[in-house]
Amino acid sequence: MTKDQRPALAAINLPERIDQLSAKRQQIIRPILEHPREYVLLSVRAMAHRLGTDPATVVRIVRGLGFATYRSFQHHLHELSFAFATSMDTLQPADREHDMPAFVRDSLQRDLKNLHGLKNSLDVKRLGALAKRLYQARRILIFAGDLASVLADFLDWHFTFLGLPVFAATSAGRIGHLARSVDKRDVVIAITFRRGLRQTVEGTQHARRQGAYCVGLTDTNLSPLARECHEVFIASIESTSFGASYCAPIALLDAMLAACGQYKRPHTVAVAKESSEEQRKGFRWYGT
């Protein structure tokens, strides 16, 4: 999704809009923004009742925040509930905790839903354009941290296999050092989800100021990466358990690698052919 294509909700400067509201209206709206999961499914009448006000006031506040309709505000709350979700928030209700088979099936169903969402929303032509940019780059830098480090390692391994000039950074110090050394010839791939990890977001901000082309991989248009990157790819990490599901992000990286492999197929074939002998007989592999 390019900047011009991002939904209006990503462009709304909510803190600034809130400051422009009266003190009373700020007091009314703040609980909603602090606990969006508790309000996202409520009708305007139900929300007004819960907040101790009237529906007309809620609608005026919503419009004052920059949303054209109450439905668009609900969509924002839906995105916000994902962006600020915690491990406790993603757990299924307690009444399912003893039904292990059903819980496992629900988990797999959630992964499939995430994959279908990616398949239906991904613009594969953009991946082709990105593959071209990656092959033209002086350096490819991958910024990630915490659990997303496994995605950086995954991408780093495959880019190295293709002979691309890749550098992965998963600590604040290394991200900072690499971000200072980039220029317009470099591409930064930043990976962070939900609210966004500070080291990844700030590293991306610095890299963009230095002129690097920044690509974000995240799960919501409310991510700071949606504002800081030249383009972003969205892959849901929604889960029914305490952890994040990386099924869709891995599939997105697989699609990116497929585009890279196909962009210079003769080169990919040559590399694979050279590597195949080691994969058949190399000392790393257990022999039966």
Q: How does pLDDT run along the chain (288 residues), one tens digit per residue?
A: 444 444 444 455 677 788 888 888 888 888 887 788 788 888 989 988 888 899 899 998 888 888 888 888 888 888 877 777 676 666 655 555 567 788 888 889 999 999 999 999 999 999 999 999 999 999 999 999 999 999 999 999 999 999 999 999 999 999 999 999 999 999 999 999 988 999 999 999 999 999 999 999 999 888 899 889 999 999 999 888 888 899 999 999 999 999 999 999 999 999 988 888 787 777 887 776
194 dihedral zone (left: phi>0; alpha: psi -120 to 50; beta): left
C-alpha span between 91 and 15 (Å, rounded): 29
For domain 118-273, the question of CATH label 1.10.1060.10 is answered with no
Taking alpha carbons only, the member of 90, 52, 117 closest to residue 194 is: 90
**Model-level pTM?**
0.77
The CATH label, of 1.25.40.10, 2.60.120.10, 1.10.357.10, 1.10.10.10, for the domain at 3-86 is: 1.10.10.10
Token pair, residue 201, equals 């977001």
Taking alpha carbons only, the member of 255, 201, 206 closest to residue 226 is: 201
pLDDT at 90: 63
Give the bridge partners for 187, in sequence order. 140, 213
∠ at Cα 273 (166, 268), nearest 5°? 45
Residue 54, phi then psi, degrees to nearest 5 = -110, 160
Determine the distance from the C-alpha atom of residue 15 to the mean position of all C-alpha atoms in its chain, rounded to a whole number.
22
DSSP one-letter string for 5-50: GS-HHHH--HHHHHHHS-HHHHHHHHHHHHSGGGTTT--HHHHHHH
**Are 196 and 225 a contacting pair, CB within 8 Å?**
yes
The residue behind tokens 């819960």 is: 50
DSSP conformational letter for 146:
G
Instruction: With residue 61 as reference, give the H or E element that holds it.
Output: helix 55-64
Alpha helices in 65-99 (DSSP H): 70-83, 87-90
Query: What are the extents of the domains in the chain?
Result: 3-86, 118-273
Half-sphere exposure of 145 (CA within 13 A, CB side): 16
